[in-house]
Amino acid sequence: MEGLSVGHLLVIAVVVMVLFGRGKVSSLMGEVGKGITAFKKGISDGSKEIEEAKATSARDVTPEPEKAKV
């Protein structure tokens, strides 16, 4: 099995265009783009939340007598 070549991909693209039309395909690709953007934003927000949780859970290691002086 060789996989998909450029010719195969072109044939698939033409068949999809004939079946669904240009407008439907372009709106579908727009939705895919929005989904990818939302996914990336969610990953970014999740990692920020994890970093913030680590920062807030970091404990103060200053000895008790030293805290009283400050």
User: Residue 3: what pLDDT?
Assistant: 82
pTM for this prediction = 0.52
Q: In this structure, is residue 4 part of a structural domain?
A: no
Between residues 56 and 23, the one the model is more confident about: 23
Q: Residue 26's domain spans which residues?
A: 21-55
2, containing H or E segment: none
Task: Report the phi/psi class of residue 3: left, alpha or beta, with left for phi > 0 and alpha for psi in -120 to 50.
Answer: left
pLDDT at 52: 83
- Give 35's pLDDT tier (boundaries 50, 70, 90): very high
**What is the total count of domains within the chain?**
1
Decide if 49 is inside a domain. Answer: yes
61 within domain boundaries: no
Q: Which residue would you say has higher pLDDT here, 58 or 50?
A: 50
- Across the range 49-65, mean pLDDT stands at 75
